[in-house]
Amino acid sequence: MQMPQIRLQSQQAKISLNTTDATVNIQQPKAEQSIRQPQAAITMHTTHSKLTIDQTQAWNDMDLKSVFKKTEDLVQLGKKSYLEGITRRVQEGKEMMQIEKGGNPIASQAKRIEERKLKEFAIGWIPSQFAVKTDYQPSELDINVEVKRPEIKNTPQHPQFHYERGQVDTGIAQYQSLKVDFENLKFSGVNGFEINI
């Protein structure tokens, strides 16, 4: 006996999704920087050194004097000799006045006069020690430095953003379906009427 059968074939619907990802692009431009270093200002002031040499005493010691100095020395020597002569003559006069007290004043005076005629010998052209006088003033250096600060300029740059939105596209990749199939299905009617469905 054949059993009646009903066959059902169904197919589910399928949804298609097409996704486009969102994109973010970030760029950071470099900051602009400029540095300028001005030169320092330097000023220098120098005073000249000074050397003075005074050899007047050395010339005088070697008897190479100026006319004015020679005249002055001769005046002083004349004054001294004049006063010494007066002193000597006063002393000799006193000795002669007291001749009665004894002694031999004439002979002693003659001896003193003879001794005065003896001259001392000396080398006159050699100057005395430290006759040449020197004086030295060193130079002075004054340095003035004016420092200049560096000039720094910064220009920051803002970051640049670029954004593209994502998208989702939906669709139907496969539609649903239902298929019905009959087999061995009979309809019996009145009076033994039978029909295959």
Residue, of 132 and 4, whose pLDDT is higher: 132
DSSP bridge partners of 19: 168
Is residue 193 predicted with pLDDT exceeding 70? no
pLDDT at 124: 56
Is residue 53 predicted with pLDDT exceeding 70? yes
Q: What is the pLDDT of residues 119-134, one digit of tens each?
A: 655 555 677 788 889 9
pLDDT above 70 covers a percentage of the chain that reads: 88
- CA separation for the pair 20, 24 (Å, rounded): 13
Q: What is the pLDDT of residues 154-170, one digit of tens each?
A: 999 999 989 999 899 89
Residues 6+ apart with CB under 8 A from 77: none
pLDDT above 90 covers a percentage of the chain that reads: 35
Is residue 144 predicted with pLDDT exceeding 60? yes
Task: Indicate the pTM of the whole model.
Answer: 0.35
Strand ranges (E), the chain: 5-11, 14-20, 23-27, 32-36, 41-46, 50-54, 133-137, 141-146, 151-155, 160-164, 167-174, 177-183, 186-188, 194-196
pLDDT at 117: 65
Q: What is the pLDDT of residues 72-103, one digit of tens each?
A: 888 998 999 889 889 888 888 888 888 777 77
Is residue 178 predicted with pLDDT exceeding 90? no
- Residue 78 burial class via C-beta count within 10 angstroms: exposed 0-12, middle 13-18, buried 19 and up: exposed
SS3 141: strand
**Phi (first) and psi of residue 5, to 5 degrees:** -130, 140
Residue 115 is encoded by which pair of tokens?
A: 């001794």
What integer best gives the mean pLDDT of the chain? Answer: 84
